[in-house]
Homo-oligomer: A and B are copies of this chain.
């Protein structure tokens, strides 16, 4: 306990108390002040000693455990882990993990940020934008109307009236389909997961855009699939490389985000869309089209979906309601080619039987009341304003040598630092400047150091966008100056622009 009395936590620092504590205990372990298999103080005792909440201790111990500094035994406590394997390389990996964990949490708006932090890392809309009052009304209407039925199992394919209305709703997007092709899902991530379950066997190959959405990669990896990356160009996936890969590796699936891609913000041109569909048809490959932001098409007439052009039924379309409505609903849908209907349905059943009946019925009523049109128009207005401020600020402030391609819509911007400068290294510098972003390396199957970074405007107000980009640009300029030497590790899979 004596060793722990020396720990001082500073409430005036920007750093969380629990990460301060984590670092203090980590130092005790690394400096061998406490030894392998020594017991850490009980949570309450240490909390009393340091005059903090129990939860601070719990969080610090958890973090120590995640990083393998300590281990736990139920009923007896927390103990220092033996240090044999902890070499310098592991330490570096651990630092990476730490940053990645922060980023993952920030991406979902799940981390408490410091008061002045401007969060370009979060891809989750600001909660004030959610149509809470409208949804409360439909929830209550549904409960009065359907009573216990709203809490039974819904059929696995989804609530029939909702699927029926979605078919209508899709007409506006130029997509003609039928009720039996609609599969309700508990969010887009589940959509990717059940498609992978239905169609991928261990050892199968999947093509992904490079860079691409991290959640899709995690799912394909979990299925034991091999991933091939095809560069994302400014007008879409590189078709030449794609065709070569198809001929050589016979992939089962292509995972694509043709409009306002995550993380780049780039969109496929009409020409690329047509050519991709033609290629997929010719080679007999299924395309997963992940559509999470097509609605935010500020500066283009070409934001049509692949699905609307899919004459050969080669596209499985995933629609997320998380970004344009509310992520907490955990609701979305698939359009499934008839031939795959049954496999997808079975995969849905083994995943979670069915999506919440109450949520499906309420969202059905929400759609049927037509409120969604108003809401999408509102979201468009809000985001277009942010988008414009963002483009203006980037053009005004970004230091020379720093590049971006202006997207035509959506919420993501893909910024390239000068060649050889690591965005991850910038990240660890910049956190002190109260700016968060996502280093580009995480968007590749094998995490690499990259000179790219993703900025999202989903959770930042216009005024803060301007301040934030100004601050970020200054930090980048400082970073260029300070780091005259180029970083050693170079990006292996840098997107070709």
Measuring CB to CB, which residues of chain A are less than 8 angstroms from any residue of chain B? 58, 62, 65-66, 71-72, 74-75, 104-105, 108-110, 124, 126-130, 132, 135-136, 139-140, 143, 147-156, 176-180, 186-187, 189-190, 193, 197, 201-202, 215, 218-219, 222, 224, 311, 313, 322, 326-330, 337-339, 342, 346-347, 349-359
Contact = CB atoms under 8 A, between A and B. Distances in A.
Contacts of A352: 186-187, 189-190, 193, 330, 351-352
A74 B313 contact: yes
A152 B127 contact: yes
Given A127-B151, A132-B148, A326-B151, A189 B75 contact: no
Contact of A346 (B108, B218, B337): B218
B155 A110 contact: yes
A124 B110 contact: no
A108 B357 CA distance: 13
Nearest to A154: B328
A327 B143 CA distance: 15
Given A328-B358, A357-B328, A143 B150 contact: no
A329 B356 CA distance: 6
Nearest to A312: B74
A161 to B, nearest CB: 12
Nearest to A107: B153
A140 B136 contact: yes
Contacts of A109: 152-153
A189 B351 contact: yes
15 contacts: A74-B311, A108-B155, A108-B354, A110-B153, A110-B156, A127-B151, A128-B148, A136-B140, A151-B328, A153-B328, A154-B328, A189-B350, A193-B352, A215-B349, A352-B352
Contacts of A147: 127, 132
Contact of A124 (B139, B143, B153): B153
A389 to B, nearest CB: 22
A334 to B, nearest CB: 14
How many identical chains are in the complex? 2
Contacts of A218: 346, 349-350
Contact of A75 (B124, B156, B197, B311): B311
Given A109-B152, A153-B110, A355 B330 contact: yes
Given A155-B110, A346-B218, A353 B124 contact: no
A154 B311 CA distance: 39
A130 to B, nearest CB: 4
A129, A132, A311 interface centre (most CB from chain B within 10 Å): A132
Nearest to A74: B313
When A and B form their complex, which 9 residue pairs have the shortest distance between CB atoms, in order from nearest?
A127-B148, A151-B328, A328-B357, A151-B326, A202-B202, A108-B153, A190-B352, A130-B148, A218-B350
Nearest to A331: B356
Contacts of A187: 352-353
A65 B71 CA distance: 55
B58 A180 contact: yes
B202 A224 contact: yes
A402 B108 CA distance: 57
A66 B443 CA distance: 39
Contacts of A129: 148
A328 B132 contact: no
A373 to B, nearest CB: 19
Nearest to A190: B352
B152 A124 contact: yes
A150 B415 CA distance: 33
Given A130-B151, A135-B143, 18 more contacts: A74-B313, A74-B338, A108-B153, A108-B155, A108-B156, A108-B354, A109-B152, A110-B153, A127-B149, A127-B152, A132-B143, A132-B147, A132-B150, A186-B186, A187-B353, A218-B346, A329-B356, A359-B359
